[in-house]
Amino acid sequence: MHFKDLNLIDPLLRAVEAEGYDTPTPIQQQAIPYVLDGRDMIGCAQTGTGKTAAFALPILQLLSKTPAQSQRRNIRALILSPTRELASQIGDNFTSYGRHTGLRAAVIFGGVGQTPQVDALKRGIDILVATPGRLLDLMNQGHIRLNALEIFVLDEADRMLDMGFIHDVRKVLKVLPPRRQNLLFSATMPRDIQELADSFLHNPAKVEVTPQATTVEKIAQSVYFVAKQDKRELLELLLRDKAIRRVLVFSRTKHGANKLAKQLTDGGIRADAIHGNKSQSARERALADFKAGRIRALVATDIAARGIDVDDVTHVINYELPNEPESYVHRIGRTARAGASGIAISFCDSEERAYLRDIERLIRLRVPVVEDHPYASNANAARPPVQERGPRPPRNSSPNGQNSRSSAPNSRSSGSSSRSSSSSSSSTALPSRSVARPGAGSSSSSSSKSSANYESPSTLSLLAESEGGREGGDAPRRRRRRGGGRGGGGQGGQH
């Protein structure tokens, strides 16, 4: 299938061609016709599947084909995103895909002054990409009117809930005109997301490109049981392998991310940290350095990593396991993007074993254990079989690959040759269902941004806000799956 088979208009076809996109990804193939038809839609898809274009392209088409209600530019499409990085990325994508349409987009998010954002709004825009906090803020100040809104997109809805934005989302929903098209995207579809969807979507079409919460097929996963105090040395040992070219290291706390980045740098490994306490310019610099290969390791917290769109992340290392199992799926999805294969390595200390159990239940797989390493702790003892959690709806894929019981499978070679010869992990546990990936020929959407009609994304990404603050100080709003202990109450908020 080609993009033209999706009945996209010429200005959009030219833009996707310039992006280097050959074939629509599965989520694009499924979603674009529904959105063009004006249907409400639920899309269950992870970042990395091409989901942004799946909604951005048909939105641009709908807006260019139907004339605006008034002479003045009004906000006709609103995209709510949980983080500023993701918002910025979506804004860039709208700019790239829409550069021949004459439509104008702007991005607003917290953490920076509002004046440039307000100026952009005053000049008039058709599409607004926003994080909830700044949106409500500017609405309350009277700078944003949504009475002409035609299309509403809630992106990464599961993340939105996890980050405690549900009340803000509901407030936004209340002020939207009742007649509108609604799209909801989420990597996972737990019951609370379904309930949220039921509350504002009308007879939605459903598209799903990965079985929910199933980890991406191309990612070779493994876990190292290691004592907390040995993690850093294990990391340095692994990083001796030059095949780990571009690695995203996940830390649960901002403080931990800073400390680890410094330790790595002191140890001669080019590294930086990205998290919500960093200024927008520091985040952008770290990301640019990472993309350009000037740093090899980017140490990130979960929230900061949302929206990081770097195609060539060779490895994800979970230095600490997330206490929310869905975060594991999000994290490892940062590798194996745009058709590449990837490797995800997790460190698990004795206090994190419950997290690992939750993750394995969620992904319905036993993550292969690398036992033979100098810092091995005996945490592998007596791992009970993976059992699915009660409330989760059954997965509609084949049972193939479920519950690999072999705790230390050997014989893995593909992709893991980069690790030391002591590595032993398996690909056998991964599900066989095909997973939507953008074609290999993808290029970063930031490749071309010129349009006289668009707000320059580089200017727009200076428009930042407080979601970073929510990562930290306001984090008690954040829903906790596992309350106390590490990462729960103890270091609460230090994400």
Sites of contact with ligand AMP (CB under 6 A): 21, 24-25, 28, 47-53, 309, 311, 337-338, 438-439, 442, 444-445
Residue 186 · residue 193 · CB < 8 Å: yes
Contacts of 210 (CB under 8 A, 6+ apart): 44, 45, 46, 49, 216, 433, 435, 436
Quote the least distance from Cβ 413 to ligand AMP, whole Å.
27
Quote the least distance from Cβ 44 to ligand AMP, whole Å.
13
Supply the DSSP symbol for 141. T
Which of residues 410 and 458 has its CB atom nearest to ligand AMP in the complex?
A: 458
Which of residues 19 and 40 has its CB atom nearest to ligand AMP in the complex?
A: 19
256/199 Cα distance (integer angstroms): 38
Quote the least distance from Cβ 391 to ligand AMP, whole Å.
28
Quote the least distance from Cβ 439 to ligand AMP, whole Å.
4
Cα–Cα distances in Å, from 391 out to 195, 209, 354? 14, 21, 18
Which of residues 339 and 485 has its CB atom nearest to ligand AMP in the complex?
A: 339
Quote the least distance from Cβ 442 to ligand AMP, whole Å.
3
Tell me the torsion sign for CA atoms 110, 114, 117, 122: positive
Quote the least distance from Cβ 2 to ligand AMP, whole Å.
10
Quote the least distance from Cβ 291 to ligand AMP, whole Å.
11
- Which structure tokens are listed for 276? 């919500």
Which of residues 423 and 442 has its CB atom nearest to ligand AMP in the complex?
A: 442
Exposure string over 274-311, b if 16+ CB within 10 A, otherwise e: bbbbbebeebbbbbebbbeeebbbbbbbbbbbbbbbbb
Quote the least distance from Cβ 49 to ligand AMP, whole Å.
5
Which of residues 41 and 53 has its CB atom nearest to ligand AMP in the complex?
A: 53
Point out the residue whose Cβ comes nearest to ligand AMP. Answer: 442
Which of residues 59 and 261 has its CB atom nearest to ligand AMP in the complex?
A: 59
Long-range contact list for 351-355, CB < 8 A, 24+ apart?
Answer: 351/228, 351/485, 351/486, 352/320, 352/321, 352/486, 353/379, 354/482, 355/321, 355/322, 355/323, 355/325, 355/482
Quote the least distance from Cβ 286 to ligand AMP, whole Å.
19
Residue 128 · residue 455 · CB < 8 Å: no
Find where tokens 């007596």 sit: 382
Strands annotated E in 203-314: 205-208, 219-225, 247-250, 271-274, 297-300
The residue length of the chain stands at: 495
283/193 Cα distance (integer angstroms): 30
Quote the least distance from Cβ 47 to ligand AMP, whole Å.
5
For residue 35, the SS3 value is helix
Which of residues 156 and 360 has its CB atom nearest to ligand AMP in the complex?
A: 156
205/40 Cα distance (integer angstroms): 6
Which of residues 24 and 190 has its CB atom nearest to ligand AMP in the complex?
A: 24
Quote the least distance from Cβ 335 to ligand AMP, whole Å.
12
Which of residues 139 and 310 has its CB atom nearest to ligand AMP in the complex?
A: 310
- Which structure tokens are listed for 402? 């479920």
Phi-psi region at 341: left, alpha or beta (left = phi > 0; alpha = psi -120 to 50) = beta
Cα–Cα distances in Å, from 449 out to 60, 104, 217, 307, 310? 16, 12, 32, 18, 17
Quote the least distance from Cβ 207 to ligand AMP, whole Å.
14
Angle between helices 26-36 and 51-65 (to 10 degrees): 30
For residue 376, the SS3 value is strand
Which of residues 32 and 108 has its CB atom nearest to ligand AMP in the complex?
A: 32
Which of residues 53 and 138 has its CB atom nearest to ligand AMP in the complex?
A: 53
Which of residues 52 and 253 has its CB atom nearest to ligand AMP in the complex?
A: 52
